[in-house]
Amino acid sequence: MNDEVGGVRIPRRYRRLWGQEEPAKRGPRPGLTLDEVADAAIAIADAEGLAAVSMSRVAKALGYTTMSLYRYVDSKDELVGVMFDRAMPDPPRPAPGTPWRPALERWAHAQLDVLRAHPWGATMPVAGPPLSPGTLRWLEAGLAVLDDTPLTPEEKVGLVSVVSLSVLNAARLEQEMTSGDGVTTAEYARAIAALLDPATHPHLIAAVQAGAFADEGPGEDFVFGLALTLDGVESIIARRAEGAAR
């Protein structure tokens, strides 16, 4: 089967998401849609985690045979990609005239909200650059808020990519910290103080005593890191504006 779209090779899993390929013709007439298959899988993953999702489990939830699902996806890996694309809502649309920084902050926090609602999304392996409809909608929205800045196209793509990676890292850290071995964020500072000797770790002990870890959490780390990133971008933009004014 031809796997090209507009002369470019596109893997079948993406052609399906873009509506460029119909379900397999073999076997009985399809009684499901790709969205219905994805929705059933999402419900399982939201309730029990990604490890609970299997072709047989999803088929059972839908009342179909396992083999029938292979009309819609070739594997669980493909199904997971479809799930994530299906779980992504449309990105936020800033009001006209919203400055780029608050618009990009809202865009970033909206991404984090998606991964908090579907924690399994943060554990998905990266299978290549984004090509699905949902991820490209978010990429387009992120670039759009930077449209009026003096950043180059390469810098805009780089900034959006850096912010997206920060979102993913924050979501993964939140999930790992809440599913760990029982040391909560509130207990962390006390654990450090109990384990470490001020003579060998004076800076850590000083930070604990100053309350630096008091209410620390991945959400706060994300806000701080995002602010550092955007402060740097603002500095670049300001320098370019000064240079243009001379």
Domain 4-87: give its CATH code: 1.10.10.60
Distance CA 120, CA 114 (A): 10
What is the pTM (predicted TM-score) of this model?
A: 0.85
What's the first-to-final CA gap in the chain, in angstroms?
59
Buried b (16+ CB within 10 A) or exposed e, 228-238: ebbeebeeebe
Angle at 121 between CA 64 and CA 112, to 5 degrees: 140
Rg, Å, the chain Cα set = 23
Block means of pLDDT (10 residues each) for the chain, 246 residues, are 65 83 57 93 96 96 93 92 94 94 97 95 82 94 95 96 94 77 70 88 89 70 93 94 74
Distance CA 41, CA 203 (A): 47
Query: Of 107, 94, 219, 97, which Cα lies nearest the Cα of 159?
Result: 107
Q: How far is CA 87 from the centre of its chain?
A: 11
Cβ proximity of 148 and 100 under 8 Å: yes
Helix or strand run (H / E) with residue 8: strand 8-9
> Residue length, the chain?
246
Buried b (16+ CB within 10 A) or exposed e, 13-30: bbbbbeeebebeeeeeee
Q: How many CA atoms lie within 13 A of 95 on its CB side?
A: 1
Residue 81 tokens read as: 């990609």
Angle at 41 between CA 37 and CA 135, to 5 degrees: 85
Cβ proximity of 132 and 14 under 8 Å: yes
Helix, strand, or coil (residue 70)? coil
What's residue 208's pLDDT? 86
Domain 100-180+216-245: give its CATH code: 1.10.357.10
Which residue is it, tokens 């005593």? 209
The residue ranges of every structural domain in the chain are 4-87, 100-180+216-245
Cβ proximity of 177 and 119 under 8 Å: no
